[in-house]
Chains A and B, each alone.
Chain A
């Protein structure tokens, strides 16, 4: 197995205080190898999104250690967590959260400008949009785009800073089959072509077929961890 890019040890996450305390994560241990495509499956309230947020430094764990791309995420201060996210991870959410007053290209470029050391932000934006086949959408504003197109821009935004880990929370949840497939294709290409690690949360077990590894969660615990022998391409996924 390749070197682990994600490593969790004894991670717990509690919300609230007793007696109404909710244990969202219960002593989770996990290692994910670089360039792995991991799908997190589980019912609502099982802790999938919480785990994703903990990985991305959006939420701090109650206890345990979280190491992503060589950084101890749980120990980082707020500003450092921002820096960690812009350098190491990219997020794709069910809702696209694009800035409506910026064009598709500008939405991507705004994030590209956060890492000036990677080169000219406009050039990188152009490259990533072209790579994802979105050149024609560059000058359009979010309200002029369909849901699928907006999600593709959101993926471009997540990739533009060369994230080593892509964290996706139900990225196809608001999309129809065809559009959802195209998003999954983008993610799979990112993983296969650039070696990006993808961790995707979904309800949809059909999507698990394209993953290298499937984790099942229930009540804050990883209750299943299996490898997929021959992951299918995104185009073959159907639900």
Chain B
């Protein structure tokens, strides 16, 4: 008997293969998405961890400490490496004409440092016999530099040509971020070069500062060790300190893989919910259609247990197929995504693992979803009274005016066909709710994906077109006097030039501190606009400073509070009033007038390279202007705002692909759920539809009625879908927000409209198979047999 039921199961699934395929496809997507994103997340974390172990990524950095104190850190139990080095912000020149403000980091000759080693990709590590420099891989690739090539470095005595002996990957620059305020940096504007200690002495002393890096023996070192190390560093006079979480490259990458982690739960869950509902719809319809058979089986003595298990198997069978296909696809996709990601990022070590736990959880997700979905229909099957069940199938849904007609009595005067549509919507309430939920899920997935896209585009535009108004930033080896600014303005295509001052700064209040930078502009600057927290453009205050909104949370301060500023390496703490917050998408910077900075910090405000920001005439050739600027006598480096934008846009290419895939997946999910729901509706109503057709209602008229009903059902999900989608999207984006990025959801007004129209269009498409089956309805057969 069980064998026969098994054959019945296969036969029924074959008869409704469209619906079962849709269920399996949705389930496969959910399981595969989980496997791919969760394993990718773990693979990436493991890959980073391996890089950190292999290259001794520091656990803590100190600036302003000299090499003489390293032994004090080394004596702390749990510390297995300490390295002192010098770091300098220094102009570099590639291919004779491309000057940028890069970074030089000292390394010991002949042997790698204990902490923060580099992985040599080509060439060799430098030796006493052939000093040269090591060039970080991003710059090497961007400028096509290979071992043996020359680059130029600005020393105190002028430009010096040095030989690149190797190209390297550094764990500190896997994501080449200049600072936490400058996380998105173009290779056109930033490069890192590792140089022998001896070469650092040739650089201008004002541009460099000492650093001490500390590495712990165990990956999961206790917090007490870190506190002990931090306290020691501060007591020794460290100007600033930060840990791995705050390290710019690591922080940026963490944001990224954290996204994988969040998506690996949220998105698959949506698919699984859709699967549960789709399976329930199909199976509840199946049980209704098989009432007489179930009644006969029960009446002839079959126990309820086997019947229950039989109908449970309808949920488990597709789940089993989906578990196998989904976990396999997930494992393969995880491999592909990990390789793609690590190659794009340029990780020197990849970790690819097949994790039984991920496979187990993915398969369990499918099987549990199948069981949950089938439990209620199976229970309904065994609860049938054999006598009632054998009487045949009763038309689905009861009579009665629709809920809307009760609430809005004038609706009962609508044309009969409209009333029919209204009443049919509420006929199978649970199915209607599930169809509408399909729309809600699809809109949520769409708005989360599209919201990310919109937010990124809107915020990038806000940062680079509305807030940052400069086209180029030039670094000068002389003070930016008005005559020098005039010379810059005289360069064809340059419309305006202003001197700006940028200082690294440690800001503290209420026992908290934060390292950032402060930029001084003239009060009526054309180079930067300041967007207040409330969305208003505000002037730069002549007293007090403006700070990025994150400062409020980081230091627990509000406008009007007094905060302390300190330039790392100096002992002076300067109190200043926080005049207000600025809402800037990238970084958490601070702003003041140049005059105020001069008042606050005196000579310290004008040490090192001076900087000017330029605006270009519209429609000029930026490359030509850049070349002309580099040729100016006092210009040592040029940063083009547009180059950074282009870099960002190139990253967005991957992002667009991701959003496209998510939209496709969302479409498939909604389409599958709507398809199963609509198919069940049409199959269940075949007798009455055939009755209408026999009475002369044309196939077109019947299709129109069913379509309007389907679209109205789908439309029920639109408003909650838009609300839930918006809230979820907002929550999702805010989870990416930190002092590095302010990702407050920014959505174009057209996005919800387009998403709603798209999803409704999808609902129209998803019902096509059901409509086709309507046209193919065998009237003779349906009308002859009560069952359908």
Taking beta carbons and an 8 Å cutoff, which residues of A are in contact with B? 49-50, 53, 56, 58-59, 78-79, 82-87, 90-91, 93-103, 106, 109-111, 113-115, 141-144, 157-158, 161, 169
In whole Å, how far is B379's beta carbon from the nearest beta carbon of chain A? 24
Instruction: Judge whether B397 is part of the interface by a CB distance below 8 angstroms.
Output: yes
Let me know if A103 and B399 touch, CB within 8 A: yes
**8 Å CB interface, B402-436 against A:** 416-417, 419-420, 423-424, 427
CA of A77 to CA of B779, assembled, Å: 15
Chain A residues, Cβ within 8 Å of B419: 102, 106
* A54 → B minimal CB distance (Å): 9
Chain B window 482-515, contacts with chain A (Cβ cutoff 8 Å), 1 for yes, 0 for no:
0000000000000000000000000000000000
Across the A-B interface, how many residue pairs have beta carbons closer than 8 Å? 113
- Given known A-B contacts A100-B395, A100-B398, A143-B399, A59 and B780 have beta carbons under 8 A apart: yes
Please determine whether B784 and A86 come into contact, CB atoms closer than 8 angstroms: no
Closest Cβ–Cβ distance, residue A159 to chain B (whole Å):
11
Given that A106-B416, A141-B399 are known contacts, is A53 also in contact with B697, CB under 8 Å in the complex? no
**B427 to chain A: closest CB distance in Å?**
6
Q: Specify which chain B residues have a CB less than 8 angstroms from the CB of A169 in the assembled complex.
A: 783-784
**A82 in complex: contacting residue of B398, B424, B698, CB < 8 Å:** B698
Q: List 18 A-B contacts (CB under 8 A).
A: A53-B780, A78-B698, A79-B699, A82-B698, A82-B699, A93-B691, A97-B687, A97-B691, A97-B694, A99-B420, A100-B397, A100-B398, A101-B427, A102-B416, A110-B416, A113-B416, A161-B695, A169-B784
Q: Are A49 and B399 interface neighbours, CB within 8 A?
A: no
Range of interface residues on B (Cβ < 8 Å): 20 to 34
- Determine which of A78, A84, A144 lies in contact with B699 in the assembled complex, contact meaning CB atoms within 8 Å: A78
| Residues A82 and B697 in contact, CB atoms below 8 Å apart | yes
Which residue of A49, A100, A101, A111 is within 8 Å of B695 (Cβ)? Answer: A111
Contact (Cβ within 8 A) B783 A58: yes
Q: How far is the CB of B533 from chain A (nearest CB, A)?
A: 54
- Tell yes or no: B690 within 8 A of A by CB: yes
Task: Kindly state whether residue B696 has any CB partner on chain A within 8 Å.
Answer: yes
- Which A residues touch B688, using CB under 8 A? 97-100
What residue of chain B has the Cβ atom nearest to residue A56's Cβ?
A: B694
Interface centre among A82, A90, A109, A169 (most CB of B within 10 A): A82
At the interface, yes or no: B7 with Cβ under 8 Å from chain A?
A: no
Instruction: Tell me whether A101 and B423 are in contact in the complex, defined as CB-CB below 8 angstroms, given that A95-B687, A161-B696 are known contacts.
Output: yes
A144 touches B694 (CB 8 A): no
- Which B residues lie within 8 Å of A93 (CB)? 691, 694, 783
Name the A residues within 8 Å of B399 (CB-CB). 100-103, 141-144
Chain B interface SS verdict (over half): helix
**Contacting residues, chain A, for B694 (C-beta < 8 A):** 56, 58, 85, 91, 93, 97
Q: Which residue of B lies closest to A90 (CB)?
A: B695
Q: Are B424 and A101 in contact (CB under 8 A)?
A: yes
- A145 CA / B423 CA spacing, docked (Å): 19
Question: Is B700 in contact with chain A by the CB < 8 A criterion?
Answer: yes
- The answer, yes or no, to whether B692 is at the interface (CB within 8 Å) is yes
- A163 smallest CB distance to B (angstroms): 9
Interface: B45 (CB within 8 A): no
Task: Report A73 CB to chain B, min CB distance, Å.
Answer: 13
Instruction: Verify B696–A99 contact, CB threshold 8 A.
Output: no
The answer to whether B398 and A141 touch across the interface, beta carbons within 8 angstroms, is: yes
Cβ-based interface call for B310 (8 A): no
**A96 to B, closest residue via Cβ:** B691
Bound Cα distance A109, B692 (Å): 12
Bound-state CA distance A163–B417 (Å) is 22
A84-B693 Cα distance, complex, nearest whole Å: 11
Tell me, yes or no, whether B220 is within 8 Å of chain A by CB: no
- The complex places the Cα of A166 from the Cα of B699 at a distance, in Å, of 21
Given A53-B780, A101-B397, A169-B784: A114 and B420 within 8 A (CB)? no
Measured in the bound complex, the distance between the Cα atoms of B781 and A49 in whole Å is 10
B400: chain A residues within 8 A (beta carbon): 101, 141
Complex-state Cα separation, A158 to B691, whole angstroms:
10
Contact residues in A for B779 (Cβ distance below 8 Å): 53, 58-59
- State which of A49, A83, A102 has its C-beta within 8 Å of the C-beta of B696: A83
B786 at the interface (CB under 8 A from A): yes
Cβ contacts under 8 Å, A90 to chain B: 695
> In residues 664-717 of chain B, which contact A (Cβ within 8 Å)?
687-688, 690-701
A85-B694, A102-B419, A141-B400 given. 16 additional CB < 8 A pairs? Answer: A58-B780, A79-B700, A83-B698, A85-B695, A86-B697, A99-B692, A100-B395, A102-B399, A102-B423, A106-B420, A110-B416, A111-B692, A111-B697, A113-B417, A114-B696, A169-B784
A157 to chain B, nearest CB (A): 6
Query: For A79, what are the chain B residues with a Cβ–Cβ distance below 8 Å?
Result: 698-700
Residue in chain B with minimal CB distance to A49: B784
Contact B697 A95 (CB under 8 A): no
Q: Which of B532-590 contact A (CB under 8 A)?
A: none
Q: Which residues of B contact A157 (CB under 8 A)?
A: 695
- Give the CA-CA distance A41 to B569 in the complex, in Å: 110
Closest to A87 in B: B696
B690 to chain A: closest residue by CB: A97
> Taking A53-B779, A82-B699, A102-B423 as contacts, is the C-beta distance between A110 and B397 under 8 angstroms?
no
A97 to B787, CA, bound (A): 11
Q: Is the CB of B696 within 8 A of A110?
A: no
Instruction: Tell me the B693-744 residues at the A interface (CB within 8 Å).
Output: 693-701
**Complex CA distance for A56 and B399, rounded to whole angstroms:** 30
Q: Roughly how many angstroms separate A79 CA and B694 CA in the complex, as a whole number?
A: 12
User: CB-CB < 8 A to B786: which residues of A?
Assistant: 94-95
Residues in B whose Cβ lies below 8 Å from that of A58 = 694, 779-780, 783
Alpha-carbon distance between A144 and B398 when the two chains are bound, in angstroms: 10
CA distance A174 to B334 in the complex (A): 61
Among B419, B701, B779, the one with the most A-chain Cβ atoms within 10 Å of its Cβ is B779
- Could you tell me the distance between the alpha carbons of A158 and B695 in the complex, rounded to whole angstroms? 7
**Chain B min CB distance to A233 (Å):** 28
A-B pairs with the 5 shortest C-beta distances? A86-B696, A141-B399, A97-B691, A101-B423, A82-B698
Bound-complex Cα distance A143 to B399 (A): 7
